[in-house]
Amino acid sequence: MKRVLALIPLVLVFIFTLALGSQNGQLVQFNYLIAQGEFSLSLLLGLFFGTGFLLGWLVFGLLYLRIKLQNRTLNRTVRRQSRQLELATASDKESGKE
């Protein structure tokens, strides 16, 4: 449910951008490394918005994956140390050192 609520503003911004872009049919000259071309301003804005959005998702997705893997490793370490502690306390109880 939180994800749906988080996506609603993003969808609204995207729709607003499309509405503004459709009203702007001005052609602009765009120089890129190899050549140049004449493109619609709304097309360029949409392209750069989409590219930035995908790049942002990629970067934060990789960061999220790294954190999840780190969390899994730390949980495994905690479980292993908990088992060792339980075994140590059990052996202390058996030997009467408590």
Contact 98, 92 (CB under 8 A): yes
- Cα–Cα distance measured from residue 94 to residue 9, given in angstroms and rounded to the nearest whole number: 61
Contact 17, 45 (CB under 8 A): yes
Give the pLDDT band (50/70/90) at residue 96. Answer: low
What distances in angstroms separate CA 11 from CA 6, 22, 33, one per listed residue?
A: 9, 16, 32
Give the pLDDT band (50/70/90) at residue 61. Answer: very high
Asked if the model's pLDDT at residue 92 lies above 90, the reply is no
Average pLDDT estimate for 32-55:
85
What tokens were used for 28? Answer: 């602009």
What distances in angstroms separate CA 86 from CA 20, 72, 74, 89, one per listed residue?
A: 64, 21, 18, 5
**Residue 29 or residue 6, greater confidence:** 29
Average pLDDT estimate for 40-53:
84
